[in-house]
A and B are shown apart, each in its own frame.
Chain A
Amino acid sequence: TQLLEQSPQFLSIQEGENLTVYCNSSSVFSSLQWYRQEPGEGPVLLVTVVTGGEVKKLKRLTFQFGDARKDSSLHITAAQPGDTGLYLCAGAITNAGKSTFGDGTTLTVKP
């Protein structure tokens, strides 16, 4: 059973469109991270959310942590080809514990 369900798995859109990626679980997380990974490279941290209901913005990216700290979403406004990559959410149940990763969302933004 996958602890973190990430959707959609694949997403192909045109430049300028908006999109939302979801990360859901039945478990409560002490923190949740979003990463972006390009082929042949390691994941790069985008954001960490720790407070239920928290919203963080990073330029065109908006991250939200659910009130119950069981789910999160990543919204990208006016997507650009440079946003193409694998987006991963990862949650830790305890502060000192290991993180569980979602299956990832492969985003392709066509020019």
Chain B
Amino acid sequence: GAVVSQHPSWVICKSGTSVKIECRSLDFQATTMFWYRQFPKQSLMLMATSNEGSKATYEQGVEKDKFLINHASLTLSTLTVTSAHPEDSSFYICSAKVYSETQYFGPGTRLLVL
């Protein structure tokens, strides 16, 4: 149990385009989903916390208009990187949890912006 999937697993796009990443909890309903960004050989950096049916809470320094988060259902959250630029290239990971339970991570999405 507690499986979280992400799609796509990797994506290459041109600078200026938008990219949508999906995060799904496959066998449980997630009250909260988190989006992280990770640079090579570094830890996870929390970008935003997403609760179903409400607006996401962004961490300081994360542009909410740049990284659009939608949590439309208890099993799906999406992260859209708008007008992507090469500096947005990174490994994006989502996680999901139910109330106070431990969060479970997706396999990550590698984004490369050319």
Residues of A within 8 A of B (CB): 30-31, 33, 35, 40-45, 48, 86, 88, 95-96, 98-99, 101-104, 106
Contacts and interface: CB of A to CB of B under 8 A. Distances in A.
Nearest to B40: A39
B42 A45 contact: no
A42 B41 CA distance: 13
B102 A33 contact: yes
A105 B91 CA distance: 18
Interface residues of B, number: 23
B105 interface: yes
Interface in B21-36: 32, 34
A88 B43 contact: yes
A42 B102 contact: no
Contact of B100 (A40, A41, A95): A95
Given A42-B93, A48-B102, A95-B99, 5 more contacts: A43-B105, A86-B41, A98-B34, A104-B42, A106-B41
Contacts of A42: 4, 6, 93, 95, 105-108
